[in-house]
Copies of this chain bind each other. A is one copy, B any other.
Amino acid sequence: MKQIFYILLILAFSALTAFAQRPPSISSPEVAPDHSITFRYYAPKAQKVMVSGEFLAAPMLMTKDTSGIWSVTVPSVKPDIYPYSFWVDSVQIADPNNTYIFANERFKRSIVEVHGDQPLIHSLQNVPHGKINYRYYQSSTLGTTRTLLVYTPPNFDANGKTKYPVLYLIHGGSDTEETWTKVGRANLIADNLIAQKKATPMIIVMPYANVAPSPRELFTKDMMNDIIPFVESNYPVLTDSKSRAIAGFSVGGGQTLNIGLTNPDKFAYVCSYAPFTATDEFKKNFGNWSPNAALMNKQLKLFTISIATEDFLYESVKQNIAMFKEKQLNLETLVVSGGHTWMNCKLYLANTLQQIFK
């Protein structure tokens, strides 16, 4: 009798699988030891399927086999974590066979990790690990409950005997509060650099920075009036400006400049990655700006802008850099190769973590 029920159960599960029309054998992505990657996608009725990814200059056509599975193998790529997606008859989708989704509100992409022969700075290694806390806070600025992520370092001492410096780390335009950890691996980069004694144990706060449809500058208010007070009343943190840093990528890199440079008495470290600055807020803050450079250069222990030469914002960022230098601010720049990518974000962050709170 029990036998029959087991058979019925297996049939029921099989029926569910059949309903999903997913061939059981499909595996995608498959990274080979030579770092080539095979992508597969099941779509018997599609007319054209391509894979596009940040390891490719242009999308690659996939070919369909007789069972309706499209596939292509991308030759050996440099070890890193890459976003990619499929274009199915001109519609972009994430890889349905890959659990790792790029955390983003707009583009649905998957991520693929290509391991190196040696661990990379973002690799999961057998070192002490910090925690990521998912938190809610009440934003008086936006009149709602919002989410943020808080990384606390290995051996975090929550009872207040040790007090920690804080890095506020902001995602890009359509990203979410999870993008810096799920794609940027901020927690693992910090774990690894702390284990190597190249970074000071710190708290990293990753807010959700999109305030649309509210005006963009409300995020600056939210940061100053809600996020920082929430962190400082809930975590054992140092509250002098030399123990507070701000960094961010793309739209978040612009927010970093807007928040950090208008509050140099609050942030001694301002680190902007490939900033997007074509905003009213930036124009208002820096359009007719006459900073007291001597004072600011004393207040800012570090002011950096990082950019890649093929970043679509490269020319604009060069203009920003020239403007800040023209105002006599001490500005460090990091110029690398590559584009407006999260591969570069990890590099920028790893650099920042070794520079701040020293």
Partner of A9, one of B104, B133, B278: B278
Establish whether residues A89 and B145, one from each chain, have CB atoms under 8 Å apart when the complex forms: no
Q: Does A101 contact B (CB under 8 A)?
A: yes
Copies held by the complex? 2
Nearest neighbor of A1 in chain B, beta-carbon distance: B319
Please report which residues of chain A, range 70-119, place their CB below 8 angstroms from some CB of chain B when the two chains form the complex. Answer: 88-94, 96, 99, 101, 104-108
Please report which residues of chain A, range 125-141, place their CB below 8 angstroms from some CB of chain B when the two chains form the complex. Answer: 126, 129, 131-136, 138
- In the bound assembly, the distance between CA atoms of A97 and B176 in angstroms comes to 14
Within 8 Å CB of A9, what residues of B? Answer: 276, 278, 313, 316
Which residues of A are in contact with B by a Cβ distance under 8 Å? 2, 5-6, 8-10, 12, 16, 20-22, 42-47, 88-94, 96, 99, 101, 104-108, 124, 126, 129, 131-136, 138, 145, 158-159, 176, 181, 187, 276, 278, 312-313, 315-316, 319
Q: List 19 A-B contacts (CB under 8 A).
A: A5-B316, A5-B319, A8-B315, A9-B316, A12-B312, A20-B107, A21-B91, A22-B92, A42-B91, A46-B89, A88-B91, A91-B96, A92-B96, A93-B93, A94-B96, A101-B101, A124-B136, A131-B135, A159-B159
